[in-house]
Amino acid sequence: WHHIDIMDGVFVPNISFGMPVLKAISVHATKTLDVHLMIVDPDRYIKTFANLGADRLTVHYEACPHLHRTLQAIKAEGMLAGVALNPHTNVSLLEDTINDIDLVCVMSVNPGFGGQSFIENTYDKVKALKALIERKGAKTLIEIDGGVSSENAKQLVEAGANVLVAGSFIFKSNQPKQTIEELKKIIA
């Protein structure tokens, strides 16, 4: 699927794609649109992003004072609900909501800029999240976002990751299609 970051320059220091770009992508997309909101007050925009074609909407735990209500609002609009965790946020904070979450996006860099170095304690965080999901009997997927490369992809999947976001690794490659195929072989 396609992972699209939406940044507002407030929650994170960078600005990225806006709503018109997402709409243009959704008109032509043939794969799932996984929209990752790195914005303040994401609740205000849930209906808007549903109307723009998002299939999966991920909000940051740190931006949602009423996470359960936010998750329910996302699902009420027909989207799958995701929660992103910044590197310093403990997975145990999802204990009460994990069964309502379709995907947890573990940030393995500080959000807002591409090309950062992978934060090594991500492996332990993924293992802890996988244990929580299994203990609660949830069907939640684990997505890793940031610093993903051929050097850490296999270990991330072994730790419990289901989805890898490898934007900088792929787009900085001279041969993006070959790089994608290389990643697929590594994690197969």
Rounded to whole angstroms, how far apart are CA atoms 120 and 19?
33
- Other CB atoms within a 10 A radius of the CB of residue 166 amount to 21
145 is catalytic: yes
Which among 8, 34, 102, 145 is annotated as catalytic? 145
5 is catalytic: yes
The answer to whether the CB of 136 falls within 8 A of the CB of 110 is no
Which among 5, 8, 34, 100 is annotated as catalytic? 5
Q: DSSP for 40-106, please give it.
A: S-GGGGHHHHHHTT-SEEEEEGGG-TTHHHHHHHHHHTT-EEEEEE-TTS-GGGGTTTGGG-SEEEE
The catalytic residues are: 5, 145
